[in-house]
Structures are given as structure tokens and as C-alpha cells.
Amino acid sequence: MKNVAHLSCIICFVFCSLTVTKLSAQDDFIIDVNGTKIVGQANRVEFEKVKFKPLTEQKKIKFKPSELREIFRKKDGLFRSVYVPDKKKQLFLKVLEDGKIRLYEYYKNTKGWGYFGAGPNPMPNASSVDKNWYAEKNGELVEIKTNSWFGSRKARKERFREFIKDNEKILQRYESEQKYSFDFIRLLIADYNSYN
């Protein structure tokens, strides 16, 4: 009798675990270009594709940015299909802030030459992360922040200023600070969106 009760507990535990796993997979979804929401399980979202298994299918289906509006992956958050002018293509970008100003992130691991330690000798295959933030307002998407050495920091700061200039309080905070960090930009966008 004791073994039967023990076996019943194990079976109940396994059943509950499988049910919870299936329910948590249902938290992922995609929205296609027609606005239809499809629940299922998303693999890791890449900039140019995602593999998604709808609940009603047995196999994963690969989608390109031109085929979807949004992807929500419980583990990573919301991604949106956006045309990125400087990349000259549509990509899935992570949504950091959503509102009147939308903030998106693009990042790429790169390999190249880098310096480690105090010596002057370059180390091959040093990796780094290129991170670009794009803001969108009224359908206009522009790069506002990057950790790359390329491009004009002054031009990015001015583009960001244009996005927030219609809110005097946010604009004053922006101009009174002498920093232009990722965290500060995100904070200003979140505050800007809370007013609108």
C-alpha cells in the first residue's frame, strides 16, 4: 500500500510538471503581418529569423521579419520587425521601451583584434559586442546611441534631442546632464512616454 501511494505521488508530480511545461511554452507568441496572434514556442530570436512551433503544429516553422510584426518570447521579451535604414533591411529588434517613442536594441558579437593586459601585442580572435540603439517616433527610425567608434556622437545626440524637444521638462533634464549613457537615455525615454 505504501508503494502504491508513493507511485501515485510520482505520477502526479510528473503529470503536473508536464502540464506546467506545456503551459509555460504557451506564453510565447507571434503576431503575423495580418495581426493574427499565434501561441506556441519560440526559439532564440535572431535578427533575420526565428523558428517558432505553433501549438497546433508538430514541427517548427522558420519566419523572416517580412512575415511577422512581433515576437514575444517569455525568456527574452518583445521583438518587433522594423526596417533599419543603415542596415538597409528589415530586422527583428528587441523592444526596450514602447510608447510615443519606441526604443530598440541591435547588438552583434564581433571577432577581431583587441588588446588585453598592459602589453602592446594584439590578441587574435578577441570578441566584443557592437550595440546600437534606435529610437522611433512618428514612423521615423534613427540611431541614437552606439558603443561603436564609427559615426558622429554629436549627430546622434542631436537626433535624440529632436525626439524629446516637445517635452520641456525632459529636454531640460537632458541638457542639464553632461552624460549620454545608455541608462540615461532609456530613463529619459521611459519618463517621456509616461507623460504622453
Q: What is the pLDDT of residues 52-80, one digit of tens each?
A: 999 999 999 999 999 999 999 999 999 99
pLDDT over threshold 60, residue 119: no
Whole-number pLDDT of residue 39: 96
Q: Is the pLDDT of residue 133 over 80?
A: yes
Residue 95 contacts residue 87 (beta carbons within 8 Å): no
Residue 3's pLDDT band (boundaries 50, 70, 90)? low
Whole-number percent of the chain with pLDDT over 90: 64
Three-state secondary structure call for residue 175: helix
Q: Give the pLDDT confidence of 175-188 residue by residue, as tens digits.
A: 999 889 999 999 99
SS3 130: strand
Task: Compute the average pLDDT of residues 122-148.
Answer: 80
Supply the mean pLDDT for the chain: 82
Question: Is the pLDDT assigned to residue 92 strictly greater than 80?
Answer: yes
- Taking the C-alpha atoms of residue 157 and residue 164, their distance in angstroms, rounded to an integer, is 11
For residue 111, what are the β-bridge partners? 127
Q: Which of the four pLDDT bands, split at 50, 70 and 90, describes residue 128?
A: low
Cα dist. 9→4, 5, 14 in Å? 9, 6, 9
Contact 137, 101 (CB under 8 A): yes
Tell me which residue of 94, 76, 97, 93 sits closest to 85, measured CA to CA: 93
How many other CB atoms are found less than 10 A from the CB of residue 107? 15
pLDDT confidence band for 97 (50 / 70 / 90) = very high
Shortest CA distance to 112 belongs to which of 96, 125, 97, 130?
125
Q: Give the residue-averaged pLDDT of 16-30.
A: 58
Q: Which long-range contacts (CB under 8 A, 24 or more apart) does 61-65 make?
A: 63/30, 64/90, 65/89, 65/90, 65/91, 65/92
Angle between helices 182-195 and 153-164 (to 10 degrees): 20
Which tens digits make up the pLDDT trace of 138-160? 999 999 998 877 778 899 999 99
- Residue 120 binned pLDDT confidence (cut-offs 50, 70, 90): very low
Query: Residue 169: is its pLDDT beyond 50?
Result: yes
Query: What angle in degrees, to the nearest 10, is found between the helix axes of 168-176 and 153-164?
Result: 150
- Sole residue written with cell 549620454: 180
